[in-house]
Amino acid sequence: MVNYDKLIFEWSAKGRQGFELPKPVYTAYTLNDLGTHRRKSELLLPEVGELDVLRHYTNLSHKNHGVETGFYPLGSCTMKYNPKINEEMASLPSFNQIHPLQSAGDVQGALKLYHELQGMLSEISGLAEFSLNPFAGSHGELVGLMIMKAYHEKKGDFKRTKVLVPDSAHGTNPASVAVCGMQVIEIASTPKGTVDLEALKAALSDEIAGIMLTNPNTLGIFEPDIMEISRLVHQAGGLLYYDGANLNALLGMARPGDMGFDIMHINLHKTFSTPHGGGGPGSGPVGVVKHLREFLPNPRVKVLDGTYYVEHSKDALGQIGGFFGNFKVYLRAYAYIRTLGKEHLKMVGPLATINANYIKEQLKSDYELPIEGHCMHECVFDGLKDQSTGVKTLDVAKRLLDFGFHAPTIYFPLLFHQSIMIEPTEVESKQTIDTFIQAMRQIAKEAKEQPELVKNAPHSTPISRVDEVYAAKKMILTYKDYLEEQAK
Amino acid sequence: MHKYLPHTDHDLREMLAFLGISDIKELFSSIPKAARFDREYDLPPAMSEIELRRHFQELAKLNDAKIVFSGLGAYDHYDPSVLSALVSRQEFLTSYTPYQPEVAQGTLQYIFEYQSMITALTGMDVSNASMYDGPTAAAEAMFMAEGITKRKRILASKSLFPHVKNVLQTYAHFKGLAIDWLDVVDGATDFSQLKERFTEEHAGLIVQKTNVFGVIEDFAGVADIVHEQGGVLIVYADISALAVLRTPGEDGADIAVGDCQALGIPLAFGGPYLGYMAVKKSHVRKMPGRICGQTFDKNGKRSFVLTLQAREQHIRREKANSNICSNQSLMALYVTIYLSLLGKDGLTRVNELSYQGAHALFDKLLATGKFKKVFDKPFLKEFTIETMIPADLIQKALRDNGFFGAYPLCEIDPDYENLYNFAVTEKRSAEEIDRLVKVLGGLSW
């Protein structure tokens, strides 16, 4: 039912209900005793039956493309398979029914898993210790920067308030710097998108708190001068922050800690296969080198003689969320690492990388490849090679939807005008990738021969292209707004 | 090779040949030698599904789930079985943030419905698509107040949850904001000096309903004082309770925030939960996070799309007021489905059952003669009560009898000695309540 188009509110009928609750026992007490504290205004919620709800959301789900629907080559997002067994483990009642304030003795299983996952992330990244608490990649960035700032402040060095960010970085990096109360110094990139060493040297000073790098960078290129960058920044008294967005490329091949990074975050929802959930919940554990451990946020999970306990340290930068972060995401990431084990985890980076290079080489005759040479886990094209018919990257992306593929990331990185960023991950077979390559070539052909077909795509999705201007102008953001607009 | 790694030897040979290399590692030639990882991971070997299940069962046995009689921001409410059936659908579970609306109407539409329900409950105009959790939503609201007023001080009540206070302090410290605190009298914020305390330097006031003691605070007149000084009123509210209590909208709030855990989300050792934020329409352009709006597609079909994105970090970069991107979307689906099932009547019933259970427990505890009323204030499903029974004796007795409850508030603040938190939801039966009272009433020291 791809044409299903109702809102849940539009199934509502007065008196219908989708719940059954126990009969009240203590009827002597009544909410009316709350008097003026009671809500007076109407409450616009739907009144629907249980089957209505099931059908409605099942039909809505049919309008979504998921990883199990088809290839999802969204660059920088690492859309790998989210294993079913991980979901099963995350749904175990004894993990779902424990309260976060229960005493440590009641929750040894949860604490043990948290602690072991910290240790595994340390080994994989080459850093001394992790806090799993940050809720997402962006939250991890913020917490990592707090650690950077706290480190300098503890040394009494209050003038280090500037953070270097390459101009090729994702917008979240500079936003995190600002939210942490520091200033961004943007440094220019080389034409390959890597750090310009001369620009870096010129920017370094005793006001620099550190640098944020994504490596491989947003073009899928490994920073060849990373050891020199690390030496220079440390020499100038700064710290190196590793944005773990592209960590998948490095599994089995390199570790941020060995490159001189002091602080990093990992996106468990990318590298460690936990589901993206249509935009979360993810998880952004933050790791640090030994001498920064004291700053990790509270609460912390520790072990003494085989007994796990929760620590609230005075030295910590503070608390950055309600409890222990997105705990159920850890169950999934842990299950993933244990399932692959040491012998397969090391294959993730190499297989993701060969997939990306294979796509890059296969498509470069039809799509503009701005940077020659090997890429890492993702490749970036700058639109169609032949743009004479006016077919843009957006059109290519929309046309791909007709072939049953999700679109790649487009118009990012900002270094190129027509960016198409493709990240296949290691979970895709050569067969799947060949089908994708065929579709991309077919689209390039259509762009020359039937450009209108591509410009008007998609043709086979639940809806066609949307009017974004109308949405921004009318601001119909709730069902109430919608009813008011209809009444006009 | 492995069930998650589909490359056959034949595939790899073909791909290598096409790339003109003989070993995958050649693709990593740009990594300098000093940065290469050239040993095996010190990690355990792979586990089959059978072994993994066994291993998790062993871990699970180390947890002891109890009958929950405390809250403080995480409540043991009922979660209908429809919830897990629907949220585990791969189309919702495995998809990304809905940047391609043509293949993400499922996600976009439930976000629109979620926004509609959050604004209905809070009595506000606009809701964003979600925040990480309640405490971080409060911190984001604080930044938003700063953005609206360009002022660097915040006034907040000491009756906020401790974890909310802690997160506010962390965020404020790093952003360079100062927080002043309003005292508590008889279990509720002391607003008697508000006119003097809330100055032209303050960006906003943050208060909570129901507060750390479970007390339903009265915010009559508070909004006027804050607005007279050009400030912003931020109400941190238990969203489930707003079906029956005066809403932030009715209290004149500019921003309503809080946690949605009580709306069908499992306790799960603290997460993932979901923060909500809803604001007056005049503040929408200062609001962080995703927002979904209704529009039409080219053929005139009603559709939904992420909108007002010029507010967001990926466009505004260092000028953004927040760095939040994707956060807890799937948890918003939980909430949307939960509220669809419960509706207004269901949510009212949930509150009434919780209210009745909590008040019955309160009176039964008083009747044991071992507990004392400390505040003369109304409460809903959570309350604070005083006893001289030693804390460790209470904890041991409850644990031995399969309960988690009577959370000692002195764990939060040494000033709260001998005060204990209890919460009762619609899940607690009369039999459980009586058994709890029997255990506590039987204690002697």
Question: Along chain B (445 residues), what's the average pLDDT of each consecutive run of 10 residues?
Answer: 95 98 96 95 98 98 97 96 97 96 97 98 97 98 97 98 98 97 97 97 98 98 98 98 98 98 97 98 95 97 94 76 90 98 97 98 98 97 97 96 97 92 98 98 92
pLDDT at A192: 81
**Is the distance from CB of B233 to CB of B185 less than 8 angstroms?**
no
Q: What is the pLDDT of residue A2?
A: 58
Identify the bridge partners of residue A307 per DSSP, sorted by sequence position: A304
Strand duo A300-304 + A307-311: pairing: antiparallel
CB B254 within 8 A of CB B234: yes
Placement of tokens 């305390």 in the chain: B197
**pLDDT of B320:** 80
Please indicate, yes or no, whether residues B145 and B207 belong to a single structural domain of this protein: yes
pLDDT in the model for residue A168: 84
CATH number at residue B183: 3.40.640.10
With 0-12 CB in 10 A as exposed, 13-18 as middle and 19+ as buried, what is A202?
exposed
Which of chain A's residues have a Cβ under 8 Å away from the Cβ of B352?
24, 30-31
What b/e readout covers B372-410, taking b as 16+ CB neighbours within 10 angstroms? eebbebbbbbbbbbebebebeebbebbbeeebbbbbbbe
Domain boundaries, chain A: 8-61, 85-339, 351-455
Distances (CA, A) of A139 to A53, B171, B360: 33, 12, 42
- In this structure, the strands spanning B188-189 and B184-185 are antiparallel
List A residues 23-82 in contact with B (Cβ-Cβ < 8 A). 24-27, 29-31, 33-34, 36-41, 43-48, 50, 53-54, 56-58, 60-69, 72, 74, 77, 79-82
Minimum CA–CA partner of B327 in chain A: A280
Same domain, B147 and B259: yes
- Contact map slice: B 15-54 vs A, CB within 8 A: 15-16, 18-19, 24-32, 34-37, 40-47, 49, 52-53
Pair B71, B172 in one domain: no
Q: What is the ipTM of this complex?
A: 0.97
Q: How far is A445 from chain B (nearest CA, A)?
A: 23
Chain B residue with CA closest to A319: the answer is B167
Q: How many CB atoms lie within 10 A of CB A165?
A: 25
pLDDT by residue (tens digit) across A77-98? 999 999 999 999 999 999 999 9
B421/B322 same-domain check: no
**Final residue of a structural domain among B338, B365, B386:** B338
Instruction: Report the share of chain A in percent with pLDDT over 70.
Output: 100
The whole-number pLDDT of residue B317 equals 78
Give the CA distances from residue B192 to residues B4, B137, B154, B378, in Å, rounded to whole numbers and listed in that order. Answer: 63, 27, 18, 19
Of the listed ranges A114-128, A349-363, B316-330, the one predicted with least confidence: B316-330
Cβ pair B4:A81 closer than 8 A: yes
Asked if A137 reaches chain B (Cβ–Cβ under 8 Å), the answer is yes
> What are the distances in angstroms from CA A359 to CA A172, A422, A432, B26?
28, 8, 11, 17
CB contact under 8 A, B272 and A326: yes
Name the residue among A98, A350, A373 with its Cβ closest to that of B269: A98
- Contact between A348 and A252 (Cβ < 8 Å): yes
pLDDT of residue A73: 97
Q: State yes or no: pLDDT of A1 exceeds 70.
A: no
One DSSP character per residue, B77-142 reads ----HHHHHHHT-HHHHS--SS-SGGGBHHHHHHHHHHHHHHHHHHT-SEE-S-BS-HHHHHHHHH
Q: pLDDT (tens digit, 9 = 90+) per residue, A201-251?
A: 999 999 999 999 999 998 999 999 999 999 999 999 999 999 999 999 999
Q: Is residue B245 part of a domain?
A: yes
How far out from the chain centre does Cα B437 lie? Answer: 30
Q: Hey, is the C-beta of A119 within 8 angstroms of any chain B C-beta? A: no
Nearest CA in chain A to B64: A106
Can you name the CATH fold of A351-455? Answer: Aspartate Aminotransferase, domain 1 (3.90.1150)
In this predicted structure, the answer to whether residue A343 has a pLDDT above a threshold of 70 is yes
Q: Do B94 and A172 touch (CB under 8 A)?
A: no
Q: What are phi and psi of B283, to 5 degrees?
A: -100, 5
Q: CA triplet A74, A78, A82: central angle to 5 degrees?
A: 115
* One domain for residues B104 and B230: yes
Question: How many Cβ atoms are within 10 Å of A255's Cβ, its own excluded?
Answer: 23
Considering the entire predicted model, what is its pTM?
0.98
Chain B neighbors of A167, CB-CB under 8 A: none
CATH architecture of A85-339: 3-Layer(aba) Sandwich (3.40)
Rounded Cα distance, B243 and B225, in Å: 26
Q: What's the rounded mean pLDDT across residues A377-387?
A: 97
Please indicate, yes or no, whether residues B348 and B238 belong to a single structural domain of this protein: no
For A126-215, where are the alpha helices, taking DSSP H only?
137-154, 172-179, 197-203
**Given this model, what pLDDT does residue A175 score?**
93
Domain co-membership, B299 together with B436: no
> Residue B413 sits in a domain of what CATH number?
3.90.1150.10
* A3 pLDDT more than 80: no
How near does any CA of chain B get to the CA of A262, in Å? 14
Domain check: are B372 and B334 in the same one?
Answer: no
Structural domain span for residue B418: 67-75+343-441
Picking from B317, B338, B359, the residue at the C-terminal end of a domain is B338
Q: Which residues of B touch A465 (CB under 8 A)?
A: 102, 297-298
pLDDT value at position B315?
73
Q: Establish if B33 belongs to a structural domain.
A: no
- Domain co-membership, B287 together with B359: no
Residue to substitute from A5, A11, A38, A102, interface B, most B β-carbons within 10 A: A102
- Residue A415, pLDDT > 90, answer no
B437 plus B317 within the same structural domain: no
Nearest to A253 by CA among A113, A370, A102, A124: A124
Last residue of a domain, one of B308, B338, B368: B338
CB A132 within 8 A of CB A330: yes
Mean pLDDT throughout A273-301?
Answer: 97
Residue B123 falls inside a structural domain:
yes
pLDDT for res B412: 86
**Are B260 and B393 within one domain?**
no
Q: Answer yes or no: is pLDDT of A279 > 80.
A: yes
